[in-house]
A and B are shown apart, each in its own frame.
Chain A
Amino acid sequence: MSERCVQSMIKVFESVGLIDEAKHVAEVVQFVRAYKFITAGDLYAKGNYQDLQRYPEVDLAIAADVETTLPSLTEAVKRLITDDRKRVYQDRGAKLGDARQRSLERARTEATYGWDSSPITIARLSAELWMQIKNEDWSLVSDVQFASRWPMRLWSFDKHYQFIGGAGGAGEGYASPASAGAALANKKHGRLSVSINGDGDMMYAPGILWTMAHHHIPLLKVMQNNRAYHQEYMHVQRMANRHERGITRADIGTTLKDPNIDFAKVAQGMGVYAEGPISDPKDLGPALKRAIEVVKRGEPALLDTITEPR
């Protein structure tokens, strides 16, 4: 490994706090030089262009596929675990389990605020959706960032395919087509694919609705319709206030109102089963049931729910 690469590795170790004191640097240099670096990352590229053409200097680059490799790698690691380490892992697991339970209780309490209010809170939307899918073989094929991470806080994720993750680069307009792609991949496994889809995101490529209908992609899209490109809306307001301009014009170009978009009609027009707009939280549960029945029959469905911004 070249000196440049050794120095890069040291910077990485420093940045994640693995080197606390300068006196440890020499030990780390020795460590870095003594070990071989192997990567299986060359075939890994997301929609995020930052990943492309960035090959780290390594001793051995393996063209590997994670889904194929991980099961045997996991078994190999398990065989190497000693009884002492196993006890450490079990203790750590118990502590994490307790922390998770406390976190869940806090989230449940937080979710009660605005429970019966309209627009529907994202907490309620997430809880109602969880009620309908928790006994199914489900997969959340959208990100949770703009949904205030409520699914992460209230749901129980224990399988690798239950969460697709985000765009990787704060990409706008990613969720609508990405969720359809993931649902298509889930189809052959018979999984129930659901997504929480922002209205601003849907406006980038609404044609995905026709694609879903045309290819019979079973996916439930629950709209998080806050009638705005909301991230931008908040940002413009912040900037306007910092310049003491008031916010009376912060909605120009950032909101999706006058007229409001009827996403149910848009979806129906492209051949997708749809209901909405749903603004009363009491209507949400029954509508979810009906839409999930459609998805279980192998077709896409959309619910246009009018929600809180985040």
Chain B
Amino acid sequence: MDLRMSDSLFRRFVRQAHVPSESVEQLCSPCSARLKAGMCLIQRCRPKGRRCKTAPNLHRHSGSLVASLLTLTVVATLLALPAKSLRAGTTGPAPQDEKPPAGNSQNGKKLFTSYGCFECHGNHAEGTSVGGPRLGPNPIPFPAFSKYIRQPTGQMPPFTIKVTSDADLADIYAFLQSLPQPPKADTIPALK
């Protein structure tokens, strides 16, 4: 599977993974290239005990940093799939532009609980820094969403077709789309 990613998509997944772009820009070119290719630079670097010379602190394996970079790698892999299709895409619309299957958001909300998605991502899909990332509102494109749930990486458990039907996935996706936009932080006294 070709997991290479264009620069624009790379920037996009950095934004979606909520990793400060300045941290990524500090990487040396070999590490940056590996990250863009969807590879885990942590696993490469750790056995040799070496550090990226231009960003040594990125290789100290602190908990939050490892989590950030693993998330980055996961999302890189995730978003690389539509990227491949976009490059190859001479037939049919690009998957990112495909309309997701119609789903029932109310049922999706129930499934989000019964399948245990809430355990790591929160009941409102807001995500956590020690569990799963935020999933909504504005979820990632459905093909990538579906692909990742079936064949995830990292700590995310796989939800195969044997466990979760395509119809259920569509309902869960509809629930994620239906989540309200949050208020602005500067309108909340407790966050000022």
Interface residues of A (CB under 8 A from B): 14-17, 19-20, 102-103, 105-106, 108-117, 119, 121-124, 127-128, 130-131, 145-146, 148-150, 153-154, 230, 233-234, 237-242, 244, 246-247, 250, 285, 308-310
Mask of B13-56 contacts with A, CB within 8 angstroms, 1/0: 00000101000000000000000000000000000011101001
List residues of chain B with CB within 8 A of the CB of A234: 119-120, 131
CA distance A22 to B107 in the complex (A): 60
CA distance A226 to B191 in the complex (A): 23
Q: By DSSP majority rule, is chain B's interface helix, strand, loop, or mixed? A: loop
Partner of B123, one of A17, A124, A308: A308
Least CB distance, A10 to chain B, in whole angstroms: 11
List residues of chain A with CB within 8 A of the CB of B190: 124, 127-128, 130-131, 285
Least CB distance, B50 to chain A, in whole angstroms: 6
Q: Contact: A246 with B191, CB < 8 Å? A: no
List residues of chain B with CB within 8 A of the CB of A121: 122, 124, 126
Partner of A117, one of B50, B119, B124, B130: B124
CA distance A285 to B191 in the complex (A): 13
Partner of B191, one of A127, A146, A250: A127
Least CB distance, A41 to chain B, in whole angstroms: 22
Q: Told that A112-B183, A145-B130, A233-B119 touch, could you supply 19 new A-B pairs with CB distance under 8 A?
A: A20-B51, A103-B20, A111-B191, A112-B188, A114-B125, A122-B128, A148-B129, A148-B131, A149-B129, A234-B131, A240-B157, A241-B158, A242-B158, A247-B116, A247-B163, A250-B116, A308-B122, A308-B124, A310-B128
B60 close to chain A: CB less than 8 A: yes
B162 close to chain A: CB less than 8 A: yes
B182 close to chain A: CB less than 8 A: yes
Interface residues of B (CB under 8 A from A): 18, 20, 49-51, 53, 56, 59-60, 64, 115-116, 118-120, 122-131, 134, 155, 157-160, 162-163, 182-185, 188-191
Q: By DSSP majority rule, is chain A's interface helix, strand, loop, or mixed? A: helix
Least CB distance, A296 to chain B, in whole angstroms: 21
Q: Contact: A108 with B191, CB < 8 Å? A: yes
List residues of chain A with CB within 8 A of the CB of B158: 241-242, 244
Given the interface contacts A112-B185, A145-B130, does A238 sit within 8 Å of B155 by beta carbon?
Answer: yes
